[in-house]
């Protein structure tokens, strides 16, 4: 039982040691992806960066996305592969060679080197390693024998063969097992305690490692540096440092690692399959059934990648690293690409927690993680352990007065001895804060239910709603200011600031800051407090500050310069003062770091975070005790270590993999690419390309251009090919480059080519065109000359005929000339007669015009003058426009002389216009005066009836049949003692309009449908209407001239439009109303003539 306890205890120690190691990102490549075998054995890169893998099915080639396969002779397994002297060498069972090209130079093809090996030296079985030499390579058979390939010849090196040693040095060698080592770029053979170096021809004894203990037990030696070797003792299962100086062994010391301690406690040994020094100085090794470890030179485990868990490789036989520092694990079941050069490692559900991470915090040196599924903490074994009793979302933590509180989505818990104790229930809890001057009280912020106060009373927590909130915010965080006010941010409504009473249970003042207070936007703002107490605000335009005196927000004087134009979504400050900021964009949230500098400034660091930006959206960031920063990404915790020692920077390449013509014919591959000239029929090309950068290779983007056709670079795209169709003739250079996940640009790949013109646009074609054109012109000229000679003879004959005809025509013309002369004299006499008559007509017309103008003076004299109108009405206007010199329309106004102060006004439209209308108007004027002043008739209906009778008698209608008449609007206006105005209206086919001053009511009183002078049907009589109006009310009398006036489209102005116009101007002075009426009339009749006499009379009572 005790033994079992000890084993369990030691296993826990091992688990704790290993789990504390960081787990980097791993890209998994499975056999189904690369169409390869179950086992992979070796890996290398060529000078461009292309990856090659030795596999059960042959050689695999990988360009970051696409895998290709090249079988070797007899379809054997490829156990060893190496790229040296611009050649990809291959080793297999009883086979070795290199990957060459077929006869076209386009396609890769395996070439066997067996024929180059003398038959007596073909004694090897399996080539497991290929190593470089100064002038060749060494094919190693299970670290026991070697085939040296130099200058096209092979030498078989077998430590058991006496002929391979320098003369006289073989006899003393012990019979113990022999090894072949490779270090210092040379081959060494170990036999017993002796070491022999290969000098190009023989094995020569060397004292290089003389003094090294247990040399026969050493299984592998590699260079850590030029004078430092790292060896593995297969007997003791320990690693040793071997230090050299000036090419001689100086001392050795054990390489003690954390793994030694673990396995010593387990009372077992670990079997190292393979170890290698990485290009960042770390040491990587694989242990049977465990995985791959990355150790520092101090022996501490830096990173651990578990077999079949972190990497798809079930059993790691081998590994290698590429130029970027990625480690590739090789073995059974798949290939793992470990992003060892990245500063990022991660924890996820394999480390114990589950659900989207919401918050993280430390309490008593223990890391707690709140997720959508509950609460977990990091235990001593390095795994996350679930806290029993808390399920669903944990949104916030609070450590206050030595107590630790957990804000759950529906409950507030206090952690006691690692167990949660429920103290208050509250739905939609988002945050929990302590108040500095009220230590026994806590404030709960909820999503949509406002603020709640927690207070202790008799040892129990009591919760109640904070009263007085004017606006209930969706509270995401609460920060207490120096004046005890609370800053609250709501992503939609703005930033709230709340002042509470002394009891902290009521709001005494609440301010909501929005865009009007200097924020770039009301929505999407956050509040954050730096460790120095300064408040900063994340906005849609970067980081802002608050001016307490002006009570306005403004761009932060330092931080805004780094974040201008970006929506800052979350901020976290580390112990060193570095700020991690999340920048929200429509499709993703980016992460960046503002690294604090010694001069109180910052340096913006973005590059390391670009590869992890996609879908990063969480408000959980925390600095761990070891200085790493944990960043929540969905259900994964990303760990950022800015002290991680990376491999030296490497410039990567983009290569043009294939060039196709006319979409389907392969022109070149990357192996045979060179400048070329193409016939015009091959002017459609497709380019396939690849970026040989393997870390997050799925995020590689490409940009290209075709100089000579498209000078500007294309937009960045993840597409790995592009097409150009129907290119015109010319010289072209296709260029393509890549940008990796970190934003680094690759080297440029170029392909030059020329497209010949079509045959009909070549120089010889143009020469032929010119020759043909000259011949054509000569033929045309010859034909034309012959035609002209024939035309000349024909024309001469026609000229003779025409001459005779012209003589006859001339005689006829002379006779016609005499006739025309006689007609001219007659026409001249007629013209003189017409001019005399025209002069007589002009004189008569002038006399008539003077008579009409005299008539106008008479007509004007009978119309009321301004002073006469002023005596009757104080406030009025008259718009009077005759169509001709005299008018058939006229207005009449008068008042009675009987002391009743009755005023009469009329607007009359007589039949016709011009002179006939003027005569009618004068007759009507005379009759009106007689009816009112001699017959004392003042009622409008009686006046109209009397006028109709008198006009019939005056025109002697029975004798002459004259149907002339008139339309009239007539008002009787009387101002009554009570302040009202009595208006009696009678009309002959004309209405009266009125507008009440108090209500702006517009009214119309229609006249009788009878004209004066026209015999009515059915003995109709004129009607009379009485209205009671008030002072300042308006009345309008009009003839039909204004409403009947047409525009250039021959459309009448219309009575409805006139009424709307009068109503719209009712509040203006009468003179202004007249001006508006005239302007509207002039505008409407633009480019057309006046149709009829126009009269509008407006009176303000």
In a domain, 1010, yes or no: yes
In a domain, 615, yes or no: yes
3-state secondary structure of 933: helix
* Between residues 117 and 842, the one the model is more confident about: 117
What mean pLDDT is predicted for residues 772-783? 89
Q: Is the pLDDT of residue 138 over 70?
A: yes
Residue 290 pLDDT class (50, 70, 90 cuts): confident
680 and 609 fall within a common domain: no
Token pair of 779 as six digits: 């033929």
Contacts 24+ apart (CB under 8 A), 479-483: 479/433, 479/527, 479/528, 479/529, 479/535, 480/433, 480/435, 480/436, 481/535, 482/533
Q: Is the pLDDT of residue 264 over 70?
A: no
975 and 1070 fall within a common domain: yes
Residue 645 pLDDT class (50, 70, 90 cuts): confident
Please tell me the distance from the alpha carbon of residue 30 to that of residue 782, in angstroms, as a whole number: 84
**pLDDT computed for residue 2 by the predictor:** 39
pLDDT tens, residue by residue, 374-403: 999 999 888 899 999 998 899 999 999 989
Please tell me the distance from the alpha carbon of residue 27 to that of residue 291, in angstroms, as a whole number: 16
976 and 1093 fall within a common domain: yes
Q: Is the pLDDT of residue 104 over 90?
A: no
Contacts 24+ apart (CB under 8 A), 226-231: 226/184, 229/183, 230/255, 230/275, 230/277, 230/283
- Count, in order, helices (H) and strands (E) of the chain: 12, 74
Q: Is the pLDDT of residue 10 over 50?
A: no
- State the residue for tokens 């190693």: 140
**pLDDT computed for residue 598 by the predictor:** 87
**pLDDT computed for residue 267 by the predictor:** 57
Residue 236 pLDDT class (50, 70, 90 cuts): confident
Q: Is the pLDDT of residue 7 over 70?
A: no
Q: Of 713, 729, 758, which residue is a domain's last?
A: 758
734 and 877 fall within a common domain: no
> Using CA atoms in the order 830, 834, 837, 841, what is the torsion angle rounded to 10 degrees?
170
In a domain, 1018, yes or no: yes
3-state secondary structure of 1090: coil
pLDDT tens, residue by residue, 700-744: 999 999 999 999 999 999 999 999 999 999 999 999 999 998 889
705 and 600 fall within a common domain: no
866 and 959 fall within a common domain: yes
| CA distances in angstroms from 1059 to 31, 1000, 1050, 1082, 1096, listed in the order given | 91, 13, 20, 17, 12
Spatial CB neighbours of 980, under 8 Å, sequence gap ≥ 6: 1028, 1029, 1030
Three-class HEC string of 774-813: HHHHHHHHHHHHHHHHHHHHHHHHHHHHHHHHHHHHHHHH
H or E segment to which residue 17 belongs? helix 2-20
Expressed in angstroms, the distance from the first to the final Cα of the chain is 123
Residue 349 pLDDT class (50, 70, 90 cuts): confident
Query: Which stretches within 461-572 are classed as H helix?
Result: 560-563
What mean pLDDT is predicted for residues 180-185? 88
Q: Of 313, 342, 371, which residue is a domain's last?
A: 342
When mean pLDDT is compared over 20-24, 364-368, 454-458, the highest value belongs to 364-368
In a domain, 121, yes or no: no
Q: Is the pLDDT of residue 14 over 70?
A: no
Spatial CB neighbours of 34, under 8 Å, sequence gap ≥ 6: 53, 55, 60, 62, 67, 69, 335
pTM summary value: 0.68
* Between residues 160 and 265, the one the model is more confident about: 160
Token pair of 941 as six digits: 């209906």
Residue 215 pLDDT class (50, 70, 90 cuts): confident
915 and 956 fall within a common domain: yes
- Residue 179's closest CA among 119, 260, 233, 242? 233
- Name the percent of the chain lying above pLDDT 90: 56
Q: What is the CATH number of the domain that holds 562?
A: 2.130.10.10
Token pair of 856 as six digits: 């106008």
pLDDT tens, residue by residue, 15-52: 444 445 678 999 999 999 999 999 999 999 999 999 99
- Range 383-395 burial, b when 16+ CB lie within 10 A, else e: bbebbeebbebbb
Quote the mean pLDDT of the chain. Answer: 88
In a domain, 846, yes or no: no
Query: Which stretches within 930-968 are classed as H helix?
Result: 940-954, 957-960
pLDDT tens, residue by residue, 1070-1090: 999 999 999 999 999 999 999
- Residue 853's closest CA among 925, 908, 907, 914? 914
What mean pLDDT is predicted for residues 882-911? 88
Cα dihedral 1085, 1010, 930, 963 sign: positive
In a domain, 590, yes or no: yes
Phi, psi of 859 (to 5 degrees): -65, -40
Q: Is the pLDDT of residue 832 over 80?
A: no
In a domain, 700, yes or no: yes
Query: Counting Cβ atoms within 10 Å, is residue 1019 exposed (0-12), middle (13-18) or buried (19+)?
Result: exposed
- Residue 56's closest CA among 76, 72, 30, 42? 76
CA atoms within 13 A of residue 801's CA, in its CB half-sphere: 5
- Residue 924's closest CA among 912, 936, 913, 909? 909
930 and 1029 fall within a common domain: yes
- Under 8 Å between Cβ of 41 and 318: yes
661 and 559 fall within a common domain: no
Q: What is the CATH number of the domain that holds 720?
A: 2.60.40.10
Between 315-319, 618-622, 770-774, 1072-1076, the lowest mean confidence (pLDDT) is in 618-622
Q: Of 318, 342, 366, which residue is a domain's last?
A: 342
| Partners of 472 in beta bridges | none
Please tell me the distance from the alpha carbon of residue 237 to that of residue 255, in angstroms, as a whole number: 11
What mean pLDDT is predicted for residues 64-87? 93
Q: Is the pLDDT of residue 962 over 80?
A: no
864 and 1008 fall within a common domain: yes
Residue 988 pLDDT class (50, 70, 90 cuts): very high
CB atoms under 10 Å from CB of 787, counted, come to 10
Full domain range(s) for residue 924: 860-1100
Q: How many domains does the chain divide into? A: 4
pLDDT tens, residue by residue, 368-379: 999 999 999 999
Q: What is the CATH number of the domain that holds 868?
A: 3.60.40.10
User: Residue 949: which region, alpha, beta or left (left: phi > 0; alpha: psi -120 to 50)?
Assistant: alpha
H or E segment to which residue 358 belongs? strand 357-363
| CA distances in angstroms from 1029 to 450, 553, 998, 1064, listed in the order given | 64, 63, 11, 20
678 and 576 fall within a common domain: no
Residue 476 pLDDT class (50, 70, 90 cuts): confident
Residue 13 pLDDT class (50, 70, 90 cuts): very low
Residue 8 pLDDT class (50, 70, 90 cuts): very low
Between 12-26, 105-119, 227-241, 921-935, the lowest mean confidence (pLDDT) is in 12-26
567 and 622 fall within a common domain: yes
**pLDDT computed for residue 11 by the predictor:** 42
Between 38-47, 527-536, 537-546, 843-852, the lowest mean confidence (pLDDT) is in 843-852
In a domain, 244, yes or no: no
Residue 134 pLDDT class (50, 70, 90 cuts): confident
């Amino acid at each position: 039982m005790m033994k079992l306890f000890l084993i369990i205890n030691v296993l826990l120690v091992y688990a704790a040691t290993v789990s504390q190691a960081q787990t980097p990102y791993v890209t998994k490549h499975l056999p189904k992806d690369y169409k390869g075998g179950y086992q992979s054995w070796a890996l290398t890169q060529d000078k461009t960066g292309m990856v090659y893998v030795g596999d059960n099915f042959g050689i695999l080639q990988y360009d970051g996305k696409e895998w290709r396969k090249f079988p070797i002779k007899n379809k054997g397994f490829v156990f060893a592969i190496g790229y040296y002297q611009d050649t990809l060498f291959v080793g297999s069972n009883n086979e070795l060679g290199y990957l060459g090209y077929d006869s076209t130079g386009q396609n890769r093809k395996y070439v066997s080197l067996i024929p180059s090996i003398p038959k007596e030296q073909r004694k090897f079985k399996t080539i497991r390693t290929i190593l470089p030499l100064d002038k060749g390579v060494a094919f190693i058979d299970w670290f026991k024998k070697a085939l040296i390939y130099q200058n096209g010849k092979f030498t078989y090196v077998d430590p058991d063969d006496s002929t391979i040693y320098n003369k006289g040095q073989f006899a003393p060698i012990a019979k113990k097992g022999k090894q072949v080592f490779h270090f210092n770029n040379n081959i060494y053979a170990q036999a017993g305690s002796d070491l022999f170096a290969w000098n190009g021809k023989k094995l020569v004894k060397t004292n290089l490692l003389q003094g090294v203990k247990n040399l026969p037990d050493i299984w592998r030696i590699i260079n850590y540096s030029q004078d430092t070797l790292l060896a593995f003792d297969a007997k003791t299962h320990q690693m040793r440092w071997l230090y050299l100086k000036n090419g001689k062994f100086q001392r050795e010391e054990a390489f003690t690692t954390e793994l030694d301690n673990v396995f010593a406690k387990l009372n077992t040994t670990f079997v190292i399959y393979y170890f290698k020094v990485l290009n960042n100085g770390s040491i990587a090794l694989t242990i049977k059934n465990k995985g791959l470890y990355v150790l520092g030179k101090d022996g501490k485990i830096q990173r651990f990648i578990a077999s079949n868990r972190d990497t798809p490789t079930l059993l790691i036989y081998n590994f290698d690293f590429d130029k970027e520092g990625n480690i590739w694990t090789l073995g059974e079941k798949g290939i793992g690409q470990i992003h060892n050069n990245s500063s990022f490692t991660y924890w996820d559900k394999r480390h114990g927690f589950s659900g989207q991470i919401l918050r993280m915090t430390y309490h008593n040196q223990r890391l707690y993680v709140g997720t959508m599924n509950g609460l977990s903490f990091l235990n001593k074994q390095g795994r996350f352990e679930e806290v029993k009793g808390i399920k669903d979302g944990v949104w916030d933590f609070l450590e206050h007065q030595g107590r630790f509180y957990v804000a759950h989505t529906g409950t507030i818990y206090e952690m006691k001895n690692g167990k949660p104790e429920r103290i208050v229930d509250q739905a939609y809890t988002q945050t929990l804060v302590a108040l500095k001057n009220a230590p026994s009280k806590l404030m709960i912020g909820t999503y949509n239910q406002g603020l709640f106060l927690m207070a202790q009373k008799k040892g129990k927590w009591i919760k109640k709603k904070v009263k007085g909130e004017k606006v209930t915010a969706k509270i995401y965080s609460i920060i207490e200011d120096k004046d005890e006010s609370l800053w609250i941010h709501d992503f939609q409504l703005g930033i709230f600031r709340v002042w509470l009473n002394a009891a902290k249970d009521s709001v005494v003042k609440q301010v909501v800051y929005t865009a009007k207070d200097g924020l770039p936007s009301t929505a999407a703002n956050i509040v954050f407090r730096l460790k120095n107490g300064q408040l900063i605000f994340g906005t849609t335009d970067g980081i802002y500050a608050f001016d307490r005196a002006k009570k306005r927000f403004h761009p932060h004087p330092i931080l805004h310069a780094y974040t201008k134009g970006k929506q800052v979504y979350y901020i976290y400050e580390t112990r060193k003062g570095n700020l991690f900021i999340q920048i929200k964009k429509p499709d993703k949230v980016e992460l960046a770091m503002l690294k604090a500098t010694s001069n109180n400034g910052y340096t913006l660091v973005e590059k390391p975070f670009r590869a992890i930006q996609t879908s990063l959206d969480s408000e959980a960031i925390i600095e761990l005790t070891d200085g790493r920063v944990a960043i929540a990404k969905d259900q994964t915790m990303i760990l950022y270590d800015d002290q991680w020692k990376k491999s030296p920077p490497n410039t990567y390449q983009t290569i043009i993999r294939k060039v196709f013509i006319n979409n389907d014919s392969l022109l070149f591959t990357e192996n045979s690419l060179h400048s070329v000239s193409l016939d015009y029929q091959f002017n459609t090309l497709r380019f396939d390309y690849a970026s040989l950068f393997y870390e997050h290779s799925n995020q590689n983007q490409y940009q290209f251009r075709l100089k000579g056709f498209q000078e500007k670079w294309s937009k960045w795209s993840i597409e790995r090919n592009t097409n150009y169709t129907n290119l015109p003739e010319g010289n072209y250079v296709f260029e393509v480059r890549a940008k990796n996940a970190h934003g680094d640009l690759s080297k440029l790949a170029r392909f030059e080519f020329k497209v010949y013109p079509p045959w009909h646009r070549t120089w010889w074609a143009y020469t032929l065109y010119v020759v043909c054109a000259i011949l054509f012109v000569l033929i045309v000229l010859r034909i034309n000359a012959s035609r002209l000679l024939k035309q000349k003879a024909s024309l001469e004959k026609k000229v003779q005929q025409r001459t005779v005809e012209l003589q006859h025509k001339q005689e006829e013309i002379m006779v016609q000339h005499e006739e025309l002369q006689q007609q001219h004299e007659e026409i001249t006499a007629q013209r003189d007669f017409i001019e005399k008559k025209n002069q007589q007509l002009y004189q008569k017309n002038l006399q008539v015009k003077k008579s009409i103008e005299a008539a106008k003076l008479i007509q004007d004299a009978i119309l009321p003058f301004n002073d006469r109108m002023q005596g009757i009405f104080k406030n009025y206007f008259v718009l009077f426009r005759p169509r001709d010199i005299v008018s058939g329309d006229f207005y009449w106004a008068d008042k009675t002389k009987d002391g009743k102060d009755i005023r009469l006004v009329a607007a009359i439209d007589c039949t016709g216009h011009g002179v006939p209308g003027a005569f009618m108007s004068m007759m009507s004027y005379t009759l009106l005066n007689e009816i009112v002043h001699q017959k004392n008739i003042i009622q409008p209906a009686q006046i109209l009836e009397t006028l109709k009778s008198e006009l019939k008698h005056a025109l002697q209608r029975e004798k002459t049949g004259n149907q002339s008449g008139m339309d009239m609007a007539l008002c009787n206006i009387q101002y009554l003692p009570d302040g009202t105005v009595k208006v009696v209206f009678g009309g002959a086919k004309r209405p009266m309009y009125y507008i009440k001053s108090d209500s702006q009511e517009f009214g119309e009183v229609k006249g009788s449908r009878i004209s004066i002078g026209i015999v009515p049907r059915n003995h109709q009589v004129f009607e009379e209407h009485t209205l009671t109006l008030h002072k300042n009310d308006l009345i309008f009398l009009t003839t039909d001239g204004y409403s009947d006036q047409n525009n250039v489209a021959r459309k009448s102005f219309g009575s409805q439009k006139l009424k709307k116009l009068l109503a719209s101007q009712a509040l203006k002075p009468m003179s202004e109303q007249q001006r508006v009426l005239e302007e509207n009339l002039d505008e409407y009749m633009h480019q057309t003539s006046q149709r009829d006499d126009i009269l509008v009379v407006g009176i303000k009572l």
